[in-house]
């Protein structure tokens, strides 16, 4: 879910742990700190956690760099595995093992959850979302348009009729 890897810094390790997909974000066009701390509260009797992070984000440019690096490494990995040859310096039994059981890189869909900056008025929210889409969509397998965070003032107003249609 969004919020676990907010900046796209742990894509490969999360997939290697067995996650079926990783969703980055919520990503805002410009960096912002999110809500003031403390912003996470543990309710021991209820066995619950309250999260009031807001959209703390390094910004779309930083996340784009992380996604570009991940996709580049993914391509290099594919090339490495497809160009492995039997003329390797590995002992014959390791070559046989690698032929029978080639290493499989961690793979899974990468989603990007996008949001508007806190200081962006709702009348200009579409520009924030479009900016994020243009910058991040080329690296994502899917996008999530976040208009439901209760921690971002007035964000849920974008769910209403005309605002929602304009956003779509």
Half-sphere exposure of 101 (CA within 13 A, CB side): 3
pLDDT tens by residue, 5-61:
889 998 988 888 888 899 998 999 999 988 888 888 999 999 998 888 878 899 999
Closest CA to 33 of 101, 94, 112, 117: 117
Residue 88 pLDDT grade (very low, low, confident, very high; cuts 50, 70, 90)? low
Report residue 121: phi and psi, to 5°: -65, 150
Tokens describing residue 128:
């924030």
pLDDT tens by residue, 90-143:
788 777 877 777 655 567 899 999 999 989 998 999 999 999 999 999 999 999
Tokens describing residue 168:
């779509």
2 compared with 135, residue with greater pLDDT: 135
Say which of 83, 84, 87, 149 is annotated catalytic: 149
Q: Measure the CA–CA gap between 162 and 116, rounded to whole angstroms.
A: 17
pLDDT tens by residue, 49-74:
888 887 889 999 999 999 999 998 88
pLDDT at 73: 85
pLDDT at 83: 57
Q: Measure the CA–CA gap between 93 and 37, rounded to whole angstroms.
A: 56
Q: Residue 84 pLDDT more than 90?
A: no
pLDDT at 102: 62
Q: What are the b/e assignments for 10-27, b being 16+ CB within 10 Å?
A: bbbebbeeebeebbbbbb
81 compared with 69, residue with greater pLDDT: 69
Q: pTM of this prediction?
A: 0.79
Active site residue 85: no
Distance (Å) of CA 91 to CA 87, 95, 101? 10, 6, 15
Residues facing 23 on adjacent strands: 111
């Amino acid at each position: 879910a969004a919020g676990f890897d907010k900046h796209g810094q742990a894509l490969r390790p999360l997939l290697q742990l067995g996650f079926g997909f990783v969703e980055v974000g919520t990503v805002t066009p410009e960096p912002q700190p999110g809500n003031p701390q403390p912003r996470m509260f543990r309710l021991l009797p209820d066995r619950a956690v309250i999260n009031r992070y807001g959209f703390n984000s390094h910004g779309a440019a930083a996340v784009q760099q992380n996604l570009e690096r991940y996709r580049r490494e993914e391509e290099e990995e594919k090339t490495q595995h497809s160009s492995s040859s039997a003329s390797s310096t590995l002992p014959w039994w390791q070559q046989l093992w690698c032929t029978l059981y080639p290493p499989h890189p961690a793979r899974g869909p990468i989603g990007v959850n996008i949001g508007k900056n806190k200081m962006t008025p709702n009348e200009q929210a579409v520009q924030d979302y479009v900016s994020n889409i243009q910058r991040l969509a080329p690296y994502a397998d899917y996008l999530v348009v976040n208009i439901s965070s209760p921690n971002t003032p007035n964000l849920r107003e974008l769910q209403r009729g005309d605002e929602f249609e304009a956003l779509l």
